[in-house]
Amino acid sequence: MEATPTSSDPYKFLNITLNSDGSLTRHRDFPKLTPTDHSKDIPLNPNNKTFIRLFKPRNIPPPETKLPILVYFHGGGFILYSAASAPFHESCTKMADRLQTMILSVEYRLSPEHRLPAAYDDGVEAISWLRDQARCSGGDCDAWLRDTVDFSKCFVMGSSSGGNIVYGVALRVAEADLSPVKIRGLIMNQAFFGGVEPSGSESRLKDDRICPLTATHLLWSLCLPEGVDRDHVYSNPIKSSGAEEREKMGRFPSTLINGYGGDPLVDRQRDVAEMLKARGVHVETRFDRDGFHACELFDESKARALYDTVEAFMKSCSTTAPSSNM
């Protein structure tokens, strides 16, 4: 990937304009891809214009072999991109094949038009939709899921802001009855967290060519509820989580946290891992010394290494007793 030079103007860096009505004009986006023979779109909430893009492996196993299902949230700092954006569509296609997994990629609402917790709410709605599919029978069920999926082997994964959504959704469904869906594991890839005081990696890499500090500060100002700072619980759960959040964390299933040494957000990711461990969660971490934010979308070797790590984690979680009540 050719890195984009940093800019003192984060709006210019992100190629966005803030309009007078509070909406954004997004001047540059990845191409959006239509579904293929092995993917399809399913409406989630037509009022919110959300949907699910479902991906199945190109080599479906015999009918007696049921596939796990992975709910996926794309990145983009809460303000950019789509489940249909080319890098995320292609990544989900590859993961479905590589992991022999059904992928349920969520098109969630973007900020600032729909500030947090809108994306969390959309994620919960997607999990609820999956639960309803698992409970239904006959012609009302989606055939791909009915005929192919083992609902007791569900995983929830997200990258960057999507990793933050994984955390926020897990809190919200921690006490929900999702049966027969069983969430076996959470996967946070380069999750986007923040805070008022810069972390060590943010200070060291403040002029990063992919994720500079001025840009991440702008992203938080556009996605957090109006009138709060970056120590809000949505961005800085380590500092701002209350007793209720901490109790719910203890119900999380096994969690994989993946990051890279060249990502300014990496110290936040390490801190979240330690926070969850302190609540008794089984946490596995993989932090490469090299690599930059979102590198797996552009570097095939990083993508393969990530898929290998996710595959091993999923197999481990699928062959042991569930570690939570989710």
pLDDT in single tens digits along all 326 residues of the chain = 334 444 589 999 999 999 999 999 999 889 999 999 999 999 999 999 999 999 999 988 887 889 999 999 999 999 999 999 999 999 999 999 999 999 999 999 999 999 999 999 999 999 999 999 999 977 788 999 998 999 999 999 999 999 999 999 999 999 999 999 999 999 999 999 999 999 999 999 999 999 999 999 999 999 999 999 999 999 999 999 999 999 999 999 999 999 999 999 999 999 999 999 999 999 999 999 999 999 998 899 999 999 999 999 999 998 876 666 57
SS3 72: strand
263 is catalytic: yes
Measure the CA–CA gap between 145 and 149, rounded to whole angstroms: 5
CB 251 within 8 A of CB 182: no
* Annotated catalytic residue, options 160, 199, 254, 324: 160
* Annotated catalytic residue, options 121, 122, 208, 263: 263
Measure the CA–CA gap between 291 and 266, rounded to whole angstroms: 11
Question: What sign results for the dihedral spanned by CA atoms 260, 73, 198, 13?
Answer: positive
199 is catalytic: no
| DSSP letter (8 states) at residue 85 | B
CATH 3.40.50.1820 holds for 28-318: yes
271 is catalytic: no
Instruction: Please measure the distance between the N-terminal and C-terminal CA atoms of the chain and give it in whole angstroms.
Output: 38
